[in-house]
Amino acid sequence: EVQLVESGGGLVQPGGSLRLSCAASAFTFSTCAMTWVRQAPGKGLEWVSTISGSGGEIYYSGSVKGRFTISRDNSKNTLYLQMNSLRAEDTAIYYCAKDRYSYITLGLDYWGQGILVTVSS
Amino acid sequence: QSALTQPASLSVSPGQSITISCTGTSSDIGAFDYVSWFQQHPGTAPKLIIYDVSRRPSGVSYRFSGSKSGNTASLTISGLQAEDEADYYCSSYSSSVLGGVFGTGTKVTVL
């Protein structure tokens, strides 16, 4: 069964950094684009970033570009999100999700359970 | 970055059908057949119910169907059941943001 398990969340002060990880299993990781999606408390879904299966194509939302870095290690079946210069408005549940294709389509057929990131002093 | 536009809420009686609209632009829905729909129950991760405008993943009920006309995509749920009460989101690739965009979300209530 496909599994995506996020880790690395928690409480951080404004201006601080966190690195999220997403461990994937039971599918050919390198053939699937991977995406981070976040959801602020009581709000809707927000696309954050996508990386293609090979890692050669990367996309960011305007709200995180220049502060967040997505990456993947296909030898370890793991997706990462390095988050720097965190702001209060980055507070959200962060989900990693698998695309049905090797390139970005947002056909996200499997999702992790989500991990909470809280930015507060 | 503008979200796709969905109605905030819809209410329907059990057994009836509803259609949720998702309005975008010629840079997203109108340009690509990468429209997806997700169902989210409170406290849980979203679930993919439609991808590539009208395709259903394995295991998703035939009562869910998707379509697109111009810059607007639609999700139709037929024979509403209590378990269909949830939030629904559309998504698309967007060439204007060079990435993804989600809809504003629709809360469906089964009366």
Tens digit of each residue's pLDDT, chain B (111 residues): 578 999 999 999 999 999 999 999 999 999 999 999 999 999 999 999 999 999 999 999 999 999 999 999 999 999 999 999 999 999 999 999 999 999 999 999 999
Read off the amino acid at residue A100. Answer: R
Q: Choose the closest CB to A46 out of B48, B98, B102.
A: B102
Amino acid B1: pLDDT: 54
| Mean model confidence pLDDT for chain A | 97
Overall average pLDDT of the A73-96 stretch:
98
Cβ <8 Å between A50 and B46: no
Q: Is some CB atom of chain B closer than 8 A to the CB atom of A41?
A: no
Amino acid B68: pLDDT: 98
Overall average pLDDT of the A16-37 stretch:
97
Share of chain A above pLDDT 90, in %: 100
Q: How far apart are CA B66 and CA A2, in angstroms?
A: 25
Q: How far apart are CA B89 and CA B64, in angstroms?
A: 13
Cβ <8 Å between A61 and B103: no
Which of chain A's residues have a Cβ under 8 Å away from the Cβ of B88? Answer: none
Amino acid B3: pLDDT: 87
Nearest CA of chain A to the CA of B59: how many Å? 11
> Three-state DSSP class for B7?
coil
Overall average pLDDT of the A99-113 stretch:
96
DSSP state of B84: G
Amino acid B79: pLDDT: 96
Q: Is some CB atom of chain A closer than 8 A to the CB atom of B91?
A: yes
Q: Is some CB atom of chain A closer than 8 A to the CB atom of B30?
A: no
Place of tokens 């549940």: A93
Amino acid A59: pLDDT: 97
Of the CA atoms within 13 Å of residue B111, those in its CB half-sphere come to 9
